[in-house]
Amino acid sequence: MKNKKVLIISYYWPPAGGPGVQRWLKLSKYLPQYGWDPIIYTPENPDFQVLDETLSKDIHPDTQVIKHPIWEPYAFFRKLTGKNKQEKVNSGLLFDEKNISLFTKLALWVRGNILIPDPRKFWVKPSIKYLIKRIPNINPDIIITTGPPHSMHLIGLKLHKETGIPWLADFRDPWSNLDVLDIFSPSKYAKNKQRRLEKKVLETATATIAVSSNWEKELRSLGAKNTFTITNGFDESDFKTYQATKATKFSIVYGGIITSFRNPVLLWVALEELCSEIHSFREDLAITLAGTIDNLVKKDISHFTYLSEKTKYINYFPHQELLNMYSQSAILLLLLNNTPNAQGHIPGKLFEYLACQKPILAVGVTDGDVANILKETKTGCIAEFKDKQQIKDNIQLLYEQFKNDTYQTTANIEKYSRKALAESLSDKMYGIMNKR
């Protein structure tokens, strides 16, 4: 039987790096095994903040990639600030709130009040015009849009209305309830406009995909009529040569972004206290923060005598190298956003942590999706941001397991493989097709 076609509209695609690209790169890699040929529509000249050329190897050889030019406002901001063409513009998520410049304040305000739903809004109309002409040749059976940027959903909205093709809106993060929106000082009008656009998308989409059960409930409460959850996951092929080695130091490793609203202040306090109280802990401790680390986080750590000596910072590097670093660690650090909707926040790195067969030290909400997965898979422990004693107790427990070599390996993680998740998505898409 001939495979069906799925048109996936995504801003992020290799050579983009980071977690935003991996969800649909990996799902599209395995969908052909379940009867779906992915067609990717993505910008020709995007302004990616992080690049990772190694991810291109995961593009399925039969995947058709369609690219169309995009105009983004970042070149304009570079010109105003005197930055060169290659320099990346601050996304607005990483800055020193105490020393923020007047221009940055203005740029953040523009982002929150003018560039609605996001700075990629200028790609919406050209994409609709271009794809409407291409649809008869592409002939997709289903259209999928993934956000953020949530402007991608506005493309799907118009295509669905014009063609009647079933459309799935994939929400990797919330939209109007996104925890970082307040950084942009949005007016009441701007907030309402975001909600109106979101509501139109949720009420019109054939189905809405969430990345966690809590966020699926939230989407339903906002007007989504047909929802299901496809979490992020790990790709077994990334771990073919992976070997977890026994760490010689009590090395705590984090890979990714730490913003000011993900800054675990009491974790730093707990680690400093343990260094002061337990000599062997101080001798064994090593911390590596790899990726984009907010200057406020670095400043906080610099205030601690022991901790500042024990912490090493590494810039972003290719995905496979990150896995190699995980393999040599004793503990993998997981940080949730310290925000109201953190119950549904599952960092994509959690699933790779599961496959790494290393204990996880998490800081975040203890009644959310992450806590449930850690309990189900027996992979680590979690404490609330404000509970210093529990954080400290968890560190000591993991340290004792490290010293005694008593850590138990993970369990029940197979359903979080990218291949299994692609199969689940395929089943949902066939269900939608059969209802037509």
Over the stretch 327-342, which tens digit does the pLDDT of each residue have? 999 999 999 988 888 8
DSSP state letter for 234: B
Q: What is the pLDDT of residue 105?
A: 81
Within this chain, do residues 295 and 152 fall inside the same structural domain, yes or no? no
Any domain includes 264: yes
Compute the average pLDDT of residues 77-81.
57
pLDDT given at position 99? 57
The share of the chain scoring above pLDDT 90, in percent, equals: 74
Residue 98 has pLDDT above 80, yes or no: no
> How many domains in the chain?
2
Q: What is the pLDDT of residues 296-335, one digit of tens each?
A: 999 999 999 999 999 999 987 677 788 889 999 999 999 9
Q: How confident is the model at residue 95 (pLDDT cuts 50, 70, 90)?
A: very low
Query: Are 338 and 206 part of one and the same domain?
Result: no
3-state secondary structure of 332: strand
Classify 357 in phi/psi space as left (phi over 0), alpha (psi -120 to 50) or beta. Answer: left
DSSP character string of 368-418:
SHHHHHHHHHT-EEEE-TT-HHHHHHHHHHHHHHHHHT-PPPP-S-GGGBH
The arithmetic mean of pLDDT across residues 32-40, rounded, is 98
Is 208 within the bounds of a domain?
A: yes
- Locate tokens 């669905």: which residue? 160
* Residue labelled with tokens 């911390």: 287
244 in the same domain as 147: no
> Could you tell me if 272 and 157 lie in one domain?
no
> pLDDT confidence of 79, banded at 50, 70, 90?
low
pLDDT band (50, 70, 90) for residue 228: very high
Measured CA angle at 164 (ends 160, 168), to 5 deg: 50
Q: Do residue 267 and residue 180 come from a single domain?
A: no
Both 353 and 426 in one domain: the answer is no
Question: Which ranges in 43-101 belong to alpha helices (H)?
Answer: 74-81
Q: Is residue 185 in a domain?
A: yes
Tell me the CATH number at 137. 3.40.50.2000
Evaluate whether residue 31 is within a structural domain. Answer: yes
Within a domain: residue 368? yes
Tokens 């940027």, residue located: 149
Q: pLDDT, tens digit, for every residue of 367-411?
A: 999 999 999 999 999 999 999 999 999 999 999 999 998 887 677
SS3 at position 211 = coil
Would you say residue 92 has pLDDT above 50?
A: no
Look at residue 57 and tell me if it is in a domain.
yes
Residue type, 162: E
- pLDDT for res 77: 64
Summarize pLDDT for 235-274 with one digit per residue, the tens.
999 998 888 899 999 999 999 888 887 899 999 999 999 9
pLDDT of res. 322: 87
Total-model pTM: 0.90
Q: Which domain holds residue 56?
A: 4-72+117-232+418-434
- 4-9 β-sheet, strand order: 64-68, 36-43, 4-9, 142-147, 167-171, 207-210, 227-229
Give yes or no: residues 379 and 275 share one domain.
yes
For the cut 60, the answer to whether the pLDDT of residue 292 exceeds it is yes
Domain identity same for 265 and 399: yes
Same domain, 140 and 163: yes
Considering the domain architecture, whether residues 262 and 305 belong to the same structural domain is answered as: yes
Are 284 and 219 found together in one domain?
no
Considering the domain architecture, whether residues 312 and 286 belong to the same structural domain is answered as yes
Whether 355 is covered by a domain: the verdict is yes
Mean pLDDT of 150-160: 98
CA dist., res. 181 & res. 121, Å (int): 16
Q: Is residue 125 part of a domain?
A: yes
